[in-house]
Structure 1
Amino acid sequence: MTMSKSFDLRRVRPLGAALTAVALSLPFVLPLAAPGPDGFVREAVAQEMQKVDTSKLVTIGGAVTEIVYALGEGDRLVARDSTSMYPEEALKLPDVGYMRALSPEGVIAVNPTAILAVEGSGPTDALAVLKTAGIPFETVPEGYDRAAILKKIDVVGDFLGVPEKAKALEETVGADLDVAIADAARRPQSERKRVLFILSFQNGRIMAAGRHTAADGIIGLAGAINATEDTFDGYKPLTDEAVINAKPDVVMVMTRPGAGSTDEEVLAHPAIAVTPAGQNKAVLRMNSLHLLGFGPRTASAIRDLNKELYGNVSQ
C-alpha cells in the first residue's frame, strides 16, 4: 500500500517536537509534584512562605509565641498578646492586648511586617482591619490533642520559612507527648476522677467546660474524666441540678490575673457543697496559660495535672 501524496511529513515534525519536549520535561516536573512531608512540595511551600517578610512579627496566642521561641526565631518578634507570657523573654515585648479583644490600632502601631494569630483571635472586625491593612496575616489552627499541637508547629515553621526546624521540634514534642499520654492512660477507668472545670464563677452562676474545649482536652489526656461528659459543647452555664448530677470529685479553677472567687466561695455554692468535691473540699487551682495552651509544653501540663489529681504521675 502506498502513502497518499497529500500526506506531508512536515506536518508531523511540530507534533513530534512537542511530544519530545513534554517527555524531556517529565523528570523535572514529577519531583515537584511529589507528595509527602519531605518532598519538593513542602520545600516549595516553605520557599513561597519565606517570600513574606517575617522580620518584624506580631504573635497572637500563647502557644504561637512559645513555638516561635522554641524554633529559635524569637528575634523576629516585635510584639505579642497578653496571653503570651512564656518564655520570660516574651514579657519584654510590647503587649497589644488580649487575643479575643484586640485593637487593630495597637497592632499596627508596632509596624509589623507579618502577623501570626491562633484561630479564635478577635474580635472579627479587628481582624478584618488587620487583614486589609496590607500586613501578611496567617491563622494558626487551634486544637486540643497531640495532632493539633504538631500542626501548630508545622504551620508556624512554614510561615517563617524554617520547615526543617519545625520538623525537628515536632519530633521532640511528639515524643514527649507520647510518654506523658501513655503514662496517664495506664490509670484504670474505675480509678479516674471526675473533674468539673469552672471557667467563671460569678453571682452564683457556674460556667463550665464541655466537649471540644481546651479544658476537656487536657482533663482527658491527664487520665481523668470531664464531669460534664458528653452533655454539651463549648462552655455553658450550668443549673444547680446539672452540677449535682455531674458528681465531680474535683472542682478545677484557673489561677490568672483577676480570676474570680476564693475556694471558700466555690465550696459554699449550694450545688457544689453536696457533690463529692464539695464534701471533700477538693478545689484545684492551676495556671491557665500553661494548662490550656496546647503548645510545646503540653506534656509538662499533662504530668502536672495528673500529679495534682492523683498525688503522683501514674505508673
Structure 2
Amino acid sequence: MRSGYFRILPALLTALCGALLSSPAPAADPQRVVSLGGPITEIVYALGAGDRLVGADASSIYPAAAEKLPKVGYYRGFAVEGVIGLQPQLVLASDQAGPPAAMAQLQKLGIPVVVLSAEPTLEGLEQRLEGVAKALGLGNAGHEQVARIRAEVSRLTQTRSKQSVLLLSAHSGKLQAAGEGTAADALLRLTGARNLFADKGYKPLSAEAAAALQPEVIVTTTLSVEANGGIKGFLAQPGIAVTPAARNGRLVVMDDLLLLGFGPRLPEALRELQAGLAARP
C-alpha cells in the first residue's frame, strides 16, 4: 500500500493553525467512529462496519441507516461539541472537512483523526477505501472492494458516449455548473461524454450562459429537481428552457451522493448515467 493512502491531518492544517498538531494513534479496532463526509460514511458501510458509526455529518445520506445517525453539522463546518459528545475512538474525515481550527481542537483533546483524500479519481477512491479499511482494522476488505470496482469500471467504460452535457445543480434557486475537478465531471468523463462547462470546480451559471451552451443533455440531482417543484419546473428555469435538452426532455436525474460522491457505488453511478445518456424520450 502506498504511504499516501491515509494521513493524520494534512500539513495545510498545521500551517493554518500555527502549531504542530500530533494525532494520537487510533485504536487497533475502534468501535465508536464519527464520519465527516458522505462518501466516507458510505465507504464505512460498504466495508461492513456501519455498526461502528456513532455519528456522521449532514451530507451522510446513504445508505438509509446513515440518515438515522446523530448529526454533527455539515462536514465543512462541523460542530466540535457534537463530535466530542459522541465520545468517538476515531474520527474519519474528508480532507475538505473543517474549519481547520475545529480539526485542531479534536486533536488537542486527544481524539484520533484520520484524514482521507476527496480526489475524484479511481486512485483517490482506492486511497479512501484502503485508508478506511486500515484505520478500522479490516484487513484486506479495502483491497477486495478496489478490485471489484476496478473490474466493473473497466468493463463499463468499453462503451463510450459522444454527447454534449451540462452538469447542473439548483438547490437554492440559482444555477451552478460542475466543471473540471469535480466528482460529477469525473463520472461524466468515464462515459466519454463532453462536459460543456469548461471552468474548474462548481461555479454559478447565468441563464444567458446556460442558454448559450446549448447542451444535448442536462444531468442534475434529485434534490435540485425537488427544489424546483419537479422535472417540469426544473426544465422551465430561465436559460434551461431554451436548450435542446429541455426541448427534447433530455434530463438525467441522479441521487445526489451517487452523482457527487465518487464512492464505492461508482459502478452503479456509471451504469445509471450511461443509461440516462442513452435514453430517448
TM-score w.r.t. structure 2 length?
0.81
**Residue of structure 1 aligned with 2:188, choices 213, 216, 219:** 219
1:285 CA drift (Å): 1.9
Paired residues for 1:71-220 under 5 Å:
71-183=47-159, 185=160, 187=161, 192-200=162-170, 202=172, 205-220=174-189
1:242–1:127 CA distance, 2 compared to 1 (3 A)? same
1:258 CA drift (Å): 9.3
Structure that is richer in helix per residue? 1
1:307 equivalenced with 2:278 (yes/no): no
Is the Cα contact below 8 Å between 1:154 and 1:163 reproduced in 2? no
1:201 CA drift (Å): 5.9
**Residue of structure 2 aligned with 1:264, choices 232, 255, 260:** 232
Is the Cα contact below 8 Å between 2:33 and 2:92 reproduced in 1? yes
Is the Cα contact below 8 Å between 2:26 and 2:90 reproduced in 1? no
1:126–1:225 CA distance, 2 compared to 1 (3 A)? same
| More displaced stretch, 56-65 vs 134-143 | 56-65
Distance (Å, rounded) in 1 between the aligned partners of 2:241 and 2:63:
38
1:234 equivalenced with 2:181 (yes/no): no
Is the Cα contact below 8 Å between 2:26 and 2:89 reproduced in 1? no
**3-state SS of 2:74 partner:** coil
1:237–1:141 CA distance, 2 compared to 1 (3 A)? same
**Residue of structure 1 aligned with 2:266, choices 298, 310, 313:** 298
The equivalent of 1:285 in structure 2 is: 253
Specify the structure having the higher radius of gyration (Cα): 1
Moved over 6 A (4+): none
**3-state SS of 1:219 partner:** helix
1:140 CA drift (Å): 0.9
| More displaced stretch, 257-266 vs 297-306 | 257-266
- Counterpart code for 1:217: A
Distance (Å, rounded) in 1 between the aligned partners of 2:34 and 2:172:
33
Distance (Å, rounded) in 2 between the aligned partners of 1:201 and 1:154:
33
The total of aligned residue pairs comes to 261
Is the Cα contact below 8 Å between 1:62 and 1:84 reproduced in 2? yes
The equivalent of 2:218 in structure 1 is: 251
1:143 CA drift (Å): 1.7
**3-state SS of 2:140 partner:** helix
Is the Cα contact below 8 Å between 2:171 and 2:224 reproduced in 1? no
**Residue of structure 2 aligned with 1:64, choices 32, 37, 40:** 40
The equivalent of 2:21 in structure 1 is: none
Offset from partner CA, 1:85-141 (integer Å, 9 cap, x none): 333333443222322231111111111111001121233333333233210111110
Is the Cα contact below 8 Å between 2:222 and 2:253 reproduced in 1? yes
Is the Cα contact below 8 Å between 2:170 and 2:224 reproduced in 1? no
1:211 CA drift (Å): 0.8
1:202–1:156 CA distance, 2 compared to 1 (3 A)? closer
Higher relative contact order, chain-length normalized (CA < 8 Å, sep 6+):
2
**3-state SS of 2:263 partner:** coil
**3-state SS of 1:273 partner:** coil
Distance (Å, rounded) in 1 between the aligned partners of 2:41 and 2:100:
21
TM-score w.r.t. structure 1 length?
0.73
**3-state SS of 2:204 partner:** strand
**3-state SS of 1:211 partner:** coil
Percent sequence identity over aligned pairs: 36
1:68 CA drift (Å): 1.8
Offset from partner CA, 1:252-293 (integer Å, 9 cap, x none): 221139952233343333422332113223333211112221
1:173 CA drift (Å): 2.1
1:276 equivalenced with 2:244 (yes/no): yes
Distance (Å, rounded) in 1 between the aligned partners of 2:239 and 2:65:
43
1:70–1:265 CA distance, 2 compared to 1 (3 A)? closer
- Counterpart code for 1:250: V
